[in-house]
Amino acid sequence: MGLVNPEFADKLERFGVDSTFECFNCGSCVAVCPLIDGHFPRKMIRFAQLGDEDKILRDAGDLWRCLHCGLCTQTCPRGADPGGLILGLRRFALDRWRRFPNV
């Protein structure tokens, strides 16, 4: 896609996410996440803020590495619920693959 698409946040609301723009990219979630690589989960949240669906789907495998430990959500100073956002992005990816299996 490449262009900024803020309407993606509205789309994510259908998948249970209403905190897309709460994140201010402080990186606390990255620091506590046990996956400790690839700037996860902040990177995916940034993609969501930009509405970059292509990059979310490109890196969607990372979404399934999340352990649901909740550390990121407990640590986030903005109440952005990064763990919940990751779950919502999973739902978005599954819906996209179900509707467009060959894309």
Handedness of CA 94, 65, 11, 13 (dihedral sign): positive
Q: Which stretch binds ligand SF4 (CB under 6 A): 8-16, 39-47, 50-58, 91-99?
A: 39-47
94 part of the interface to ligand SF4, by CB under 6 A: no
Contacts 24+ apart (CB under 8 A), 23-29: 23/49, 23/76, 23/78, 23/80, 23/82, 23/85, 24/78, 26/77, 26/78, 28/72, 28/75, 28/76, 28/77, 29/71, 29/72, 29/73, 29/75, 29/76, 29/82
In terms of CB distance, is 45 or 57 closer to ligand SF4? 45
In terms of CB distance, is 17 or 98 closer to ligand SF4? 17
Q: Which stretch binds ligand SF4 (CB under 6 A): 8-16, 48-56, 70-78, 92-100?
A: 70-78
In terms of CB distance, is 85 or 98 closer to ligand SF4? 85
Which residue has tokens 């994510």? 12
97 part of the interface to ligand SF4, by CB under 6 A: no
Residues that bind ligand SF4 (CB under 6 A): 23-29, 32-35, 41-42, 45, 66-72, 75-76, 78, 80, 82-83, 86
